[in-house]
Amino acid sequence: MKGAMSSLLVVGSVAFDTIHNHLGSHTRILGGSATYASLAASQLASVRLVGIVGKDFPKKAVDMFRGRGIDTTGLEVANGDTFHWEGRYSDDLTSRTTIQTDLNVFADFEPKIPESFRDSEFVMLGNIAPELQLHVLDQVRSPRLVIADTMNLWIDTALGALKELLSRIDMLVINEEEARQLSGFHHPLAVAEALRALGPETVIVKRGEYGALLFLDEDIFCAPAYPLKTVADPTGAGDSFAGGFLGYLAQAGHDDLRQAVICGSAAASFCVQDVGIGALENLSREDIEQRIREFRQLTTF
């Protein structure tokens, strides 16, 4: 993986997370969809972060982003507190319950794309209200590739805006359960066909510990998740997948979507190995490359 890096705009939540899991309680650790996606992509692309935090957001976290080469010009600091999410995982980590969501400054978030970010070539619209994702698209000039994530909340409460968004993006990354809800179908081919009919040329269905499915035209690619002995914390795995996926494509000469899916799966596998961003904040390009080689070994027959 060599060559120039393209610019990747990442928009989403920057948060404090309180996570209760089999390892204990982790209070107010750095999280958020944009945080995970930015960190996962940071060694592969020139990441431009757009999000909002409160006055309580520590300088050392901003320094950590910058230390990873992430441009934080678009990280707005507003009066008030940073978004806080609290959740509890089941002992086997297969399900989680949200205990509390304190939107705080996130409630009034209106993403403002700095002038210096408007020429971004790749755009990752993290899981925020579809109206806000559309507002971001209105501000970028002519991106080569726009990818969006979404969740059941927006399928339930903002379906009109979500459908408009789908008509304007190139790729949708979505959890399997939400893909079924949005498409109204259950089986993978029917799900993908219905979602692609709404606009995005490519659909990626995330299946958690079972990997991911990529649908483009008649092509289907099935990637496993990297087999691990233990998982510390699945929070942010989906966002890390998207960051690794788009980060891969933002490298010059890297346009193979299958390879990008594997790169996303590699990033997600590192994410879940530690609590919060623990494994991502020190991840090197070589670590990702090594894991991609292991994926090749794992899936070749």
Q: By CB under 6 A, which span of 46-54, 215-223, 230-238, 292-300 interacts with ligand AMP? A: 230-238
Of 200, 238, 243, 244, the one binding ligand AMP (CB under 6 A) is: 238
Neighbours of 204 (CB within 10 A): 28
Closest distance between ligand AMP and the C-beta of residue 206, in Å? 9
**Binding track, positions 60-99, relative to ligand AMP; x by CB under 6 A:** -------------------------x--------------
Residue 33 binds to ligand AMP (criterion: CB under 6 A): yes
Closest distance between ligand AMP and the C-beta of residue 204, in Å? 13
* CB-nearer residue toward ligand AMP: 13 or 251: 13
Residue 181 binds to ligand AMP (criterion: CB under 6 A): no
* CB-nearer residue toward ligand AMP: 194 or 275: 275
Of 236, 244, 247, 264, the one binding ligand AMP (CB under 6 A) is: 236
* CB-nearer residue toward ligand AMP: 8 or 121: 8
* CB-nearer residue toward ligand AMP: 121 or 137: 137
* CB-nearer residue toward ligand AMP: 17 or 76: 17
Q: DSSP string of 210-237? A: G-EEEEETTEEEEEPPPP-S--S--TTH
Tokens coding 35 = 């945080």
Of 6, 32, 154, 280, the one binding ligand AMP (CB under 6 A) is: 32
- What's the rounded Cα separation, in Å, for the pair 98 and 85? 8
Give which of 55, 111, 104, 51 is closest to 75, Cα–Cα: 51
Residue 43 binds to ligand AMP (criterion: CB under 6 A): no
Give which of 266, 245, 241 is closest to 254, Cα–Cα: 245
* CB-nearer residue toward ligand AMP: 236 or 264: 236
* CB-nearer residue toward ligand AMP: 107 or 190: 107
Going by the DSSP 8-state scheme, the letter that residue 172 receives in this structure is: E
Strand residue runs (E) in the chain: 7-11, 15-21, 24-31, 46-54, 71-78, 84-89, 96-102, 122-125, 145-149, 171-175, 202-206, 212-216, 219-223
**Binding track, positions 11-30, relative to ligand AMP; x by CB under 6 A:** --x-x-x-------------
Q: How many residues bind ligand AMP (CB under 6 A)?
A: 15
Tokens coding 101 = 């969501």
Dihedral-angle region of residue 24 (phi above 0 means left; psi in -120 to 50 means alpha; beta otherwise): left
* Distance, C-alpha 142 to centroid of its chain: 21
Neighbours of 136 (CB within 10 A): 26
- Residue ranges that bind ligand AMP, judged by CB under 6 A: 13, 15, 17, 31-33, 85, 101, 127-128, 235-239
